[in-house]
């Protein structure tokens, strides 16, 4: 099934602004790194976001819409998510990157199925490189090994990240012009099932990083 153009523009606008803001926040969070090697690693994760932003913005432009217009409806919700989840230290920063990247990838992978060939490939191409998740998970495990009680704090932090993400997702859905939610809940994507799958995958990832859900 092919996505109608307004839904596609909405989806791409959401993804584009997500990338632009992820860049901004990861770049700032990199300052929390305990050494220059780790700082560079998080900076590289940030830089990957902006490369992906460019591809999405170009696709939006070919649809006859400016990236600014397409991103507009999502500015507030995504900004609110990041404002309410500012990491206080390095373990919180890598946990945020780990949790956020994975959930957004899972969501996009599910949505991609409803898109036509080239757009499906575009969305799959902007998923995060798995070496970033491996780096973040290794940093989380190292933080826990160095100080075991930190596992509890980071587990709570991860729950808060998911909670804030869901609450802002609800806001996006409420403010949506209809096309995006239609795309998500279209024939073939069962929203409760999608939500259950995202949650299960998140739980498995928490365990893999030494956190409890």
Is 54 a binding residue for a second copy by CB under 8 A? The answer is: yes
Handedness of CA 23, 25, 26, 27 (dihedral sign): positive
Candidates 12, 18, 53, 114: give the one binding a second copy (CB under 8 A): 53
Nearer to a second copy, 23 or 81 (CB): 23
Angle at 156 between CA 85 and CA 86, to 5 degrees: 15
Q: Does 187 bind a second copy (CB under 8 A)?
A: no
**Which residue in the set 7, 46, 94, 112 belongs to the binding site for a second copy (CB under 8 A)?**
46
Site membership for a second copy, residue 66 (CB under 8 A): yes
Residue 173 Cβ vs a second copy, minimum distance, rounded to whole Å: 22
- Measured from the CB atom, the residue of 68 and 200 that comes closer to a second copy is 68
Nearer to a second copy, 51 or 142 (CB): 51
C-alpha span between 126 and 187 (Å, rounded): 24
CB of 28 to a second copy, least distance (A): 7
Question: How far apart (Å, rounded) are the C-alpha atoms in residues 20 and 125?
Answer: 16
Phi and psi, residue 51, nearest 5°? -65, -45
87 is a site residue for a second copy (CB under 8 A): no
Q: Toward a second copy, which CB reaches closer, 35 or 187? A: 35
Q: Nearest distance from residue 23's CB to a second copy, in Å? A: 5
Tokens, residue 72: 């507009």
Angstrom distance (rounded) from CA 110 to CA 11: 12
Q: Of 110, 108, 91, 103, which Cα lies nearest the Cα of 191?
A: 110
Tell me which of 18, 65, 67, 150 binds a second copy, using CB under 8 A. 67
Query: Among residues 89 and 208, whose Cβ is nearest to a second copy?
Result: 89
Picking from 191, 10, 2, 7, the residue whose alpha carbon sits closest to that of residue 115 is: 2
């Amino acid at each position: 099934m092919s996505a109608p153009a307004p839904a596609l523009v909405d989806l791409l606008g959401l993804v584009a602004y997500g990338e632009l803001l992820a860049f901004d926040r990861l770049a700032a969070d990199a300052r929390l790194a305990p050494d220059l090697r780790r700082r560079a690693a998080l900076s590289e994760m940030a830089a990957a976001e902006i490369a992906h932003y460019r591809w999405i913005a170009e696709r939006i432009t070919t649809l006859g819409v400016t990236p600014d217009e397409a991103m507009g409806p999502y500015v507030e919700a995504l900004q609110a998510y990041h404002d309410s989840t500012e990491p206080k230290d390095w373990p919180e920063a890598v946990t945020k990157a780990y949790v956020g990247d994975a959930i957004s990838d899972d969501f996009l992978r599910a949505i991609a199925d409803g898109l036509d060939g080239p757009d499906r490939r575009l969305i799959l191409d902007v998923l995060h490189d798995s070496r970033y998740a491996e780096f973040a998970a290794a940093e989380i495990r190292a933080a826990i090994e160095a100080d075991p009680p930190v596992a509890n704090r980071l587990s709570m932090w991860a729950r808060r990240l998911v909670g804030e993400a869901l609450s802002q997702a609800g806001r996006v859905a409420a403010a949506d012009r209809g096309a995006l939610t239609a795309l998500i809940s279209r024939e073939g994507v069962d929203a409760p099932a999608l939500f259950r799958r995202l949650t299960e995958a998140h739980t498995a990832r928490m365990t893999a990083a030494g956190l409890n859900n």
